[in-house]
Amino acid sequence: MNKLRNPATPLRDQAALMLMRASPVAELDLHDAGLVVDAMQPVFVEAGTVFIEEGQTDGNEFMALLIEGQVRAENATGAPGEDMVISLIGAGSLIGEMGLIDGAPRSATCTALTDLKLAILSREALRGLVEVQPAVAARLLLTVAGLLGGRVRENNRRLRTLSQVAKAMQRELDATHAINRRLLRAHDIDAPSSVNAALQPPSLPALDSGFDTDLAPSNFGPLDGR
């Protein structure tokens, strides 16, 4: 979490309202959302900063509530400069909740497109919330589970779409290959004899062998010197 600094103005109430809207499944009221925000750390991120990096394993056990600004989430494609943008994330969204749960390497890179104001909830802070306010923590975890379930469903939908596109492209390729094969066969049938003759290798000239076509013994003379 380098290049980050705390904002000068507290945003507790605004963050609490946003958390309520971001977690309708958990049905957090303003008081409970405020308790969660109290466990968070306010952070400012400058525009252009990569604050979550795909494959990152250190310091990634947190999630963030985006209070102000816009974030670009993208995946690497393996080709330099050709990362694939997954989504543009706006204010009121939760980011990085998977890291809060399992601490596994980050699955996407998040870059600040504008200056950001975030509220960060670390795993350590979540543990403290579980001990002090277990009911509130349980509702918060229900929110996280709902977000993760929604992303799994969205990924499944995208996979189905990609599968359908791939099958359609394969059908187009098969049809194109079939047309090409028919055209080649028609060309072979209709090709003029002069073209076919031109494609044949040249015939060898006849050789004067000195042999008569008649193989009667009388046509064979004595071998010289014998």
Render 144-193 in DSSP notation, one character per residue.
Answer: HHHHHHHHHHHHHHHHHHHHHHHHHHHHHHHHHHHHHHHHHHHHHHH--H
Residue 2: the pLDDT is 45
Give the CA distances from residue 3 to residues 17, 46, 47, 52, in Å, rounded to whole numbers and listed in that order. Answer: 27, 8, 10, 12
Q: Domain 4-152 sits in which CATH superfamily?
A: Jelly Rolls (2.60.120.10)
Residue 123: the pLDDT is 92
Q: Is the pTM of this model over 0.85?
A: no
Residue 209: the pLDDT is 54
**How is the chain split into domains, by residue range?**
4-152
Residue 56: the pLDDT is 87
How many alpha carbons lie under 13 Å from residue 203 in its C-beta half-sphere?
4
Residues in the chain, pLDDT under 70: 1-11, 24-26, 81, 190-226
Chain centroid, CA 146 distance in Å: 22
Residue 203: the pLDDT is 59
**188, two tokens:** 């072979």
Chain centroid, CA 68 distance in Å: 27
